[in-house]
Structure 1
Amino acid sequence: MFTNYFFLIEGFKNLSTVGTITRTSKSITKRIINTINFEEAKIIVELGAGDGAITKYLLQRMRLDSQLVVFEVNPSFCAALKKIKDHRLMIINDSAENMACHLNAGSVKKVDTIISTLPFILFPPAKRDTILRQSADLLADSGSFFQLNYAAAVRDLYKVYFHRVQTAFIIWNMPPAYLFVCDNNIY
């Protein structure tokens, strides 16, 4: 219960970067987790990790030799994430706009999975485009980009950057949400 209250407070204080006042539901988390091929996913990136609702599940399923790199701008959420003790977790307190710089500095050229809960609809277009362009460029050919969103109308936005975009509506979230699964494979 404390974590829900903590998220609610941070959501109200920083709505333009958090994008919601509720944590990601277990329904959405399970949908994402069950879609990832953890045998193949060596490098996973999470954009807007919040207080770790999805992060913890990813770490439970990841291989021991995999790495999870999370980008979170909110210092309070970063402090909560640092309580997760796992050598595979790297927390970067910076905007996802700078992810290519951070990943390249760590010799990461391609990632297998990107999970984003960033509120792109609230971002200035230049910031949104920079993050999506970098995501598409960093994604391995067999990788997937997952985006949680509260409006279906943004589906065409993802089609600009990814070859294929699939949409799932998840009613068991507050508020109900759309999960966009994007990839660069041409079928």
Structure 2
Amino acid sequence: MGRPDHVVFLRRSFSKMDQLATPFLTGPRLCRVLAGVVPRGTDGVVVELGAGPGVLAEPIRSRLGPNARYLAVEIDSELVAHLRAHKPWLEVVQGDVADLERILDEAGIDRVDAFVSTLPWAVFPHALRDKVMDVIARRLTPNGAMSMIITWMALPNRVRELRTLLDRHFDEVVETATEWRNPPPARTFLCRRPLPRATSLDEHGTRSAS
């Protein structure tokens, strides 16, 4: 029998494929890469978007200092219940990432040191993707960072659009190599130092304020 995390996620993925996108959990190696944007020993604020059954919880927790705050946002009620039952130390909020601004306000969080996300960004509607990314960039500290996962199933044109969006909001965007052992194969975008305003790229690749 699979671990409880895998069992509950597999069951929910087939009933909520529009939210979860894949029936597979992120593998250990990619979990470590995603969690790596959290400064080791930080006493700052970390927000995880789309916490699922909590496969990233321990890799993130291992990097936190004693006074850090770690908030996990998850939309699915059964997964939220699973997190609260199996990881009682984790601060969990049930909510839609479309309401991220309100979620952070109600949690009393003004600035975030790191966002970590396993949400299916490449399939988000453009308006939702733009809205949430704007909130993330504005809430991050000047030296803050964000990580996200992109599976090989994502359409190439949607990935290119997402990359352009990230380049508008961050000073540095690093795309990692595909981890072929991950089910499904996937890579990550590691985004650092949010720009003070969203920018656009001209035909020469030079940023300009939008």
Instruction: Give the TM-score normalised by structure 2.
Output: 0.80
Q: Which residue is 1:85 aligned to?
A: 88
Q: Which residue is 2:166 aligned to?
A: 158
Structure number with larger C-alpha Rg: 2
Does structure 2 retain, via aligned residues, the 8 Å contact 1:44–1:112?
yes
Q: Which structure 2 residues correspond to residues 40-79 of structure 1 after superposition, within 5 A?
A: 40-79=42-81
Name the SS of the counterpart of 2:170 in structure 1.
Answer: coil
Q: Which runs of 5+ in 2 are unaligned?
A: 196-210
Distance 1:53 1:60 in 2: 13
Q: Which residue is 1:143 aligned to?
A: 144
Please, which moves more after superposition, 169-178 or 148-157?
148-157
Instruction: Give the TM-score normalised by structure 1.
Output: 0.90
Distance 2:48 2:125 in 1: 20
Does structure 2 retain, via aligned residues, the 8 Å contact 1:16–1:122?
no
Matched, 1:8 2:10: yes
Please, which moves more after superposition, 134-143 or 95-104?
95-104
Distance 2:173 2:63 in 1: 24
Does structure 2 retain, via aligned residues, the 8 Å contact 1:111–1:140?
yes
Q: Which runs of 5+ in 1 are unaligned?
A: none
Give the length in aligned residue pairs. Answer: 184
Distance 2:33 2:43 in 1: 16
Q: Which residue is 1:175 aligned to?
A: 184
Does structure 2 retain, via aligned residues, the 8 Å contact 1:27–1:172?
no
Q: Which residue is 2:116 aligned to?
A: 115
**Letter aligned with residue 4 of structure 1:** H
CA 1:133 to 1:149, structure 2 compared with 1: closer, same or farther past 3 Å? Answer: same
Distance 1:131 1:141 in 2: 18
Note the C-alpha offset of 1:72. 0.5
Please, which moves more after superposition, 147-156 or 71-80?
147-156
Distance 1:38 1:104 in 2: 26
Deviation readout 1:67-116 (Å, 9 max, x if unpaired) = 11111101111011102121xx3211101122222222333211000001
Q: Which structure 2 residues correspond to residues 30-41 of structure 1 after superposition, within 5 A?
A: 30-41=32-43
Deviation readout 1:110-169 (Å, 9 max, x if unpaired) = 100000111122222111111111111111111110011114533223212222210002
Name the SS of the counterpart of 1:16 in structure 2.
Answer: helix
Distance 1:38 1:184 in 2: 17
CA 1:72 to 1:114, structure 2 compared with 1: closer, same or farther past 3 Å? Answer: same
Name the SS of the counterpart of 1:50 in structure 2.
Answer: coil
CA 1:34 to 1:161, structure 2 compared with 1: closer, same or farther past 3 Å? Answer: closer
Does structure 2 retain, via aligned residues, the 8 Å contact 1:42–1:65?
yes
Distance 2:14 2:193 in 1: 35
Greater than 3 Å deviation, 4+ residue runs? 151-154
Percent same amino acid among aligned pairs?
23
Does structure 2 retain, via aligned residues, the 8 Å contact 1:71–1:91?
yes
Note the C-alpha offset of 1:185. 5.6
**Letter aligned with residue 47 of structure 2:** V
